[in-house]
Amino acid sequence: MRVALGQLAISTSWEDNLALCLSQIADAKAGGARLVVLPEGILARDPSDPDHVLRTAQPLDGPFVSGLLPASEGIMLAFCVNVPDGAGRFHNTLVVMQDGTLIACYRKLHLYDAFAMRESRLIAPGHELPPVLTLDDMKIGFMTCYDVRFPEIARYLALAGADIIVVPAAWLRGPGKERHWEIMLAARALENTCFVLGAGECGPQNIGNSMIIDPLGVVIAARGVSPGLVIETLDLAQLQKARRDLPVLQNRRFAAPALETSSCGA
């Protein structure tokens, strides 16, 4: 399967960001991609004004998401946007489209209340596990940014059949953060023998560094700090061989992960 990661520098204007996304999707299609992944928080961002993301949040039937639907013809498209929760915050929502239709959503479970950040001030957490979807002959699971630090989600997705784990992100700059990003993506790939696709925002506060990791934890394609595409072909036979050689999913002694609670409270 041919896959593409779009690396973008997001601005304060959703109209400008929509145009950027449409341009990268068109380039990805021209490169033969069947799966296209864009970063987290692509609707709008202002590093000098953290509340900008709340003021510019849109419902799923708003003009930003609606403007991307036609571009998903012939592909599966995944990205994250901010969707108002109706109670003064928003949900960081991973959206999956295919052939002009919105087919799945996932609200980010783990909020980035770490390294002096407090996402929970603006973001309401999700309470449901992410989906696993089928495209061509491969199964794809999803998570968002900070989720990658929690191995339970990746293991859940692998046990649900995922061959590929998709990670839209806006990974903040900071001491050692680029290394954290690569280590976490590689660990999730290796411990679950899955391909892992991390698509990063590359604006002034985030690292970019989009990359594709193979099922044995090797970076097979990556981009630095500038906008652009990462395009690679994923081989199902390579994944099957990795799982024969390293049958960790069969050898495990622990039960499948489960959410601590199914409550839909705040």
Tokens at 5, concatenated? 């990661």
Closest CA to 108 of 157, 74, 143: 143
Q: Helix, strand, or coil here: 226?
A: coil
145 catalytic per annotation? yes
DSSP annotation of 204: T
CA–CA gap between residue 165 and residue 152 (Å, rounded): 13
Active-site residue, selected from the candidate residues 21, 80, 105, 145:
145
Count CB atoms within 10 A of the CB of residue 122.
Answer: 17
CA–CA gap between residue 35 and residue 43 (Å, rounded): 20
194 catalytic per annotation? no
40 catalytic per annotation? yes
Is residue 115 within 8 A of residue 172, CB to CB? The reply is yes
CA–CA gap between residue 82 and residue 58 (Å, rounded): 7
Active-site residue, selected from the candidate residues 108, 119, 194, 202:
108
The 3-class SS string of 80-140 reads EEEEECCCCCEEEEEEEEECCEEEEEEECCCCCCCCCCCHHHCECCCCCCCCEEEECCEEE
Active-site residue, selected from the candidate residues 29, 40, 80, 194:
40
Q: CA distances (Å), 207 to each of 23, 58, 158, in order?
A: 21, 25, 27
Residue 198's DSSP bridge partners are: 167, 211
Is residue 200 within 8 A of residue 212, CB to CB? The reply is no
CA–CA gap between residue 189 and residue 246 (Å, rounded): 12
CA–CA gap between residue 41 and residue 170 (Å, rounded): 7
Catalytic residues: 40, 108, 145
